[in-house]
Amino acid sequence: MKIKTIVFNWKMNPKTFAEAEHIFLAVKKGASGLKHVKAIVAPPSIFLRELSRGYRGKSVSFAAQNIFWEGEGSHTGEISPVQVKDTGADYAIIGHAEQRARGVTDEEINRKVLAAIQFKLKPIVCISDTEHDSEGEYVNIVRHQIKTALKKVPPTRFRDVVVAYDPAWAIGAQEAPGVNSIHQMTLLVRKIILEAFGRDALKHIRVLYGGAVNAKNAEGILSIPDIDGVLVGRASLDAKELHALLLTANRV
Ligand code: PEP
């Protein structure tokens, strides 16, 4: 049975560390002992070290929600991949739609991906079109984003790379797109990875879907044969939802 990667992106939530501890407890309990799930929690960076240092288990890994492309220096307000690694995190989300909307470019995303690789973090690269237009322009956008983000990634590190197709139009939506549409998009992402980076890349890079995933629709989405997991926003802040989601991921 395939291991499912479940990324919980808390975004700029919750408001206090006490609440963060409470939600993390639910993740910890929910993921404990699950053999077919890799749970990754991405709390706000200010909570990362304390949550990860207080965790002794092996079922949950930690991610930053963003990193800068330099290891250190005069970059006010940025977070270094070296500092992220030092908190005990192993992953970094890079190029989330909300970062892209604030002007982060494909070239900058590539620099962040290469910095993550250099400083031994595993990049969770978000690929995000803003609309599914009828002319199919989104296909070119997705292709360009993938090809640019993964440029110069050493083939030996493909196994550390996660690509999350996380379209801006589905993030925060009431309903996720239909299973068929998600399946088509994951096939497209895989085809682009194969064409641009070859068979080894296709074999090793994990492909996730993100956008309005919850405990109810998780079973259908995670049953798609080419999906390696999901990236979850809102539902990752609700103890009951996230618990049910983890159990589903372990079962399908
Ligand atoms: C996200 O933040 O990338 C996301 C998928 O959010 P939500 O699950 O709330 O749509």
Q: Among 130, 234, 241, name the best residue to mutate to test ligand 1's pocket (greatest count of ligand atoms within 8 A of Cβ).
A: 234
Is residue 213 lining ligand 1, measured as CB closer than 6 Å? yes
Taking CA atoms only, the protein residue closest to ligand 1 atom 6 is 233
**pLDDT score recorded for residue 100:** 97
User: How many alpha carbons lie under 13 Å from residue 86 in its C-beta half-sphere?
Assistant: 9
Contact at 8 Å (CB) between 29 and 244? Answer: no
Q: What is the pTM of this model?
A: 0.97
Q: Is 28 helix (H, G, I), strand (E, B) or coil?
A: helix
- Sequence-ordered alpha helix ranges (H) in 150-233: 179-197, 199-204, 218-222
Coil vs helix vs strand at 182: helix
- For residue 213, the CA-to-ligand 1 centroid distance in Å is 7
Q: Which residues pair with 64 in a beta bridge?
A: 92
Q: How far is the CA of 149 from the centre of ligand 1 (A)?
A: 20
Alpha carbon of 195 to ligand 1 centroid (Å): 28
Q: pLDDT band at 251, cuts 50/70/90?
A: very high
Q: Which two tokens stand for residue 149?
A: 């983000």
Q: Decide if pLDDT at 1 tops 90.
A: no
Q: Which atom of ligand 1 approaches the CA of 172 most closely?
A: 10
pLDDT in tens, 116-130: 999 999 999 999 999
Q: From CA 120, how far away is CA 116, in angstroms rounded?
A: 6
Q: Does position 133 have pLDDT exceeding 90, yes or no? A: no
Q: How many other C-beta atoms are found inside a 10 Å radius of the C-beta of residue 221? A: 27
pLDDT of residue 208: 98
State residue 121's pLDDT score: 98
Q: What is the dihedral of CA 171, 80, 152, 170, to 10 degrees?
A: 0
Which runs of E-coded beta strand occur in the chain?
4-9, 37-42, 60-64, 91-94, 122-127, 162-165, 206-210, 229-232
177 Cβ inside 6 Å of ligand 1: no
Nearest CA to ligand 1 atom 5: 211
> How large is the average pLDDT for residues 64-78?
98
Which CA distances in Å does 154 have to 125, 159, 192, 197? Answer: 15, 10, 17, 10
Residue 34 CB coordination number (10 Å): 18
Ligand 1 near 231 CB (within 6 A): yes
Query: Does the Cβ of 95 fall within 6 Å of ligand 1?
Result: no
Instruction: Note the Cα 140 to chain centre separation in Å.
Output: 22
| Residue pLDDT, tens place only, 187-224 | 999 999 999 999 999 999 999 999 999 999 999 999 99
188, 203, 206: which is closest to 144 by C-alpha? Answer: 188
171 lines ligand 1 (CB under 6 A): yes
User: How high is the mean pLDDT of the chain?
Assistant: 97
Confidence of residue 107 (pLDDT cuts 50, 70, 90): very high
Q: In the predicted model, is pLDDT for residue 134 greater than 90? A: no
- CA 172 to ligand 1 center in whole angstroms: 6
